[in-house]
Structure 1
Amino acid sequence: MSTVALGFTLLFVLITILVSIRQKLGLEKDILIGSVRSAVQLLLVGYILQYVFDTEKIALIALILTAMITVAAWNAGKRAAGLNGIRRRIFMAVAVTELLTMGLLVGLSIIEAKAQYIIPISGIIIGNGMLVSGLFLNQMQREVQTASGEIETLLALGANAKQAIQASVKRALKSSMIPTIDGMKTIGLVQLPGMMTGMIVAGASPIEAVRYQILIVFSLTSSAAISGILLSVMSYRLWFTEDLRLRRTSSK
């Protein structure tokens, strides 16, 4: 794509701004800021990745993956900012998920051990881990509010923290995984996924693109389960005080 052709895509931003002005939505500033930030961030990432792909330095790959996981943990942690240590637990859950998933992909020679494959696929896995973590914490907020009577009754009857909140954790975990599972059911029918579309536009065979997309879909399913389960196991105790009273928090 030429620079001139890329410049024409600003028409889409202009249309969005005009709609906001016409409907008096007041989103013009946010649209402009978002457009500039996304363009700058993507260009910066593009140049960084080009350098990493050319050098294939393991330290740089590890640094990029660590930064991605850190940002993901920080963003997902906003859903339960009142819980001390929640971001650290999200980081650990997503990091373990990334290590397990990428270890299998590389160890079984499903993908080559090159930055060209590791970083983009890791980004998808980490991003999905962030999404699942955020959804889990959101649902746990609701569960703690709506099922507080049930949880406190169980505590009064002698249940420990895990026993008292187990049903709520299961419901929250199930809710956090539904988008990933629903996406599997409609993929290729409702929309062509991003990776597959990008490969086809770049000139790859549709069959080859489909193979890589299947890899991503199956990886996302397992990573959603792993990250959700790990986070639930590591975080359920945070919903209680030291003396086993239910803690209520609010998202930001």
Structure 2
Amino acid sequence: MGSLLKVTPALAVVVGLLVAAGATVAWAGRLGHARAILGACLRAALQLGAVSLVIAWVVGVPAGVGAFLLVMYGVASFTAGRRISRTHPWPAALPVAAGTFPVLALLFGSGVAPAQGVVIIPIAGILLGGCLTATALAGRRAVDELRVRKGEVEAALALGFLDRDAALEVCRPAAAQALVPALDQTRTVGLVTLPGAFVGMLLGGAEPLEAGIVQLVVLVALLAAEAVAVLVTVELVARGSFRAER
């Protein structure tokens, strides 16, 4: 099976043009993320290069797999938390862990997925990435909703609601919208999108049915993990873990 992309000078030129186009559009349209696009693309290139150098060693050493997972988890938690509170991000570690690790334990503990580094790392990465996004979106929306609708929270308190319950009534519907991207991805898979796990297995020579089953497991696991992450995030926000930092 051949490579999906040919590594040639033309590839470097095309990637550079795409990066420049994204940054230029953001700058010209005053979207405010031109530098962020450049920085994100540069970081992606450096990080993927570093991972490519160490991954072959990591997947064959149990201690290396564990260390790699901890690094991934720490970065995911910190990144999600910083989207919610720039000065106090670490409460986000709880929803990221609550969404990711029980699902990993079920997949690998049941034997559905083989407990090998080459399998554990990519699946953990998918789940951590999904929980990062879900936690960040849910947290930001919940915090913003409580700030904008502060009067409604105070009205609920005047009616006898507890602090947590009043906050949940206001912020939970908005925060729950963080699940929409995962829901849309699951609903449209195969019709609009062909996710990475499916395409990767096909390129690796797997049968289409086998690739489809693996992708289904990944999508269902991701949706479950993100649902847990959103639930825990909303609870933390309602209890004031993030609000004081905004």
**1:65 is the counterpart of 2:59:** no
Q: Which residue of 2 aligns with 1:81?
A: 85
Structure 2: distance between partners of 1:18 and 1:228: 34
**1:50 is the counterpart of 2:52:** no
CA contact (8 A) 1:145 1:248 kept: no
Structure 2: distance between partners of 1:54 and 1:6: 30
Give the secondary-structure state (helix, strand or coil) at the position aligned to 1:9. Answer: helix
Structure 2 portions without partners, runs of 5+ = none
Displacement of 1:42 in angstroms is 0.6
Residue 13 of structure 1, aligned match among 9, 12, 15: 15
Q: Which residue of 1 aligns with 2:162?
A: 160
Q: Identify the range of structure 1 (197-206 vs 4-13) with the bigger mean alpha-carbon deviation.
A: 4-13
Structure 1 portions without partners, runs of 5+ = 241-246
Structure 2: distance between partners of 1:21 and 1:46: 26
**1:141 is the counterpart of 2:147:** no
**Distance change (3 Å), C-alpha of 1:30 and 1:133:** closer
Give the secondary-structure state (helix, strand or coil) at the position aligned to 1:238. Answer: coil
Q: Which residue of 1 aligns with 2:111?
A: 109
Deviations 1:216-242 (A, max 9, x none): 1100110011111122223321169xx
Structure 2: distance between partners of 1:94 and 1:28: 28
Q: Identify the range of structure 1 (225-234 vs 182-191) with the bigger mean alpha-carbon deviation.
A: 225-234
Deviations 1:121-143 (A, max 9, x none): 00000100000001101211331
Residue 99 of structure 2, aligned match among 97, 115, 124: 97
Report the identity percentage.
Answer: 26
Q: Identify the range of structure 1 (169-178 vs 179-188) with the bigger mean alpha-carbon deviation.
A: 169-178
TM-score between both structures, scaled by the size of structure 2: 0.85
Structure 2: distance between partners of 1:24 and 1:73: 27
Q: Which residue of 2 aligns with 1:186?
A: 188
Give the secondary-structure state (helix, strand or coil) at the position aligned to 2:239. Answer: helix
Q: Identify the range of structure 1 (123-132 vs 30-39) with the bigger mean alpha-carbon deviation.
A: 30-39
**Distance change (3 Å), C-alpha of 1:200 and 1:51:** same
Q: Which residue of 2 aligns with 1:125?
A: 127
Give the secondary-structure state (helix, strand or coil) at the position aligned to 2:7. Answer: helix
Q: Identify the range of structure 1 (180-189 vs 34-43) with the bigger mean alpha-carbon deviation.
A: 34-43
TM-score between both structures, scaled by the size of structure 1: 0.83
Structure 2: distance between partners of 1:73 and 1:198: 27
Give the secondary-structure state (helix, strand or coil) at the position aligned to 2:60. Answer: helix
Residue 212 of structure 2, aligned match among 207, 210, 213: 210
CA contact (8 A) 1:132 1:224 kept: yes
**Distance change (3 Å), C-alpha of 1:100 and 1:12:** same
Give the partner amino acid of 2:49: L
Deviations 1:146-181 (A, max 9, x none): 321110111233321112112123213321111111
Deviations 1:69-128 (A, max 9, x none): 1111111112221674xx332112212322210111011111001111111000000100
Q: Which residue of 1 aligns with 2:179?
A: 177
Give the partner amino acid of 1:188: G
CA contact (8 A) 1:128 1:224 kept: yes
Give the secondary-structure state (helix, strand or coil) at the position aligned to 1:5. Answer: coil
For these two proteins, the number of residue pairs brought into alignment is 240
Residue 231 of structure 1, aligned match among 207, 230, 233: 233
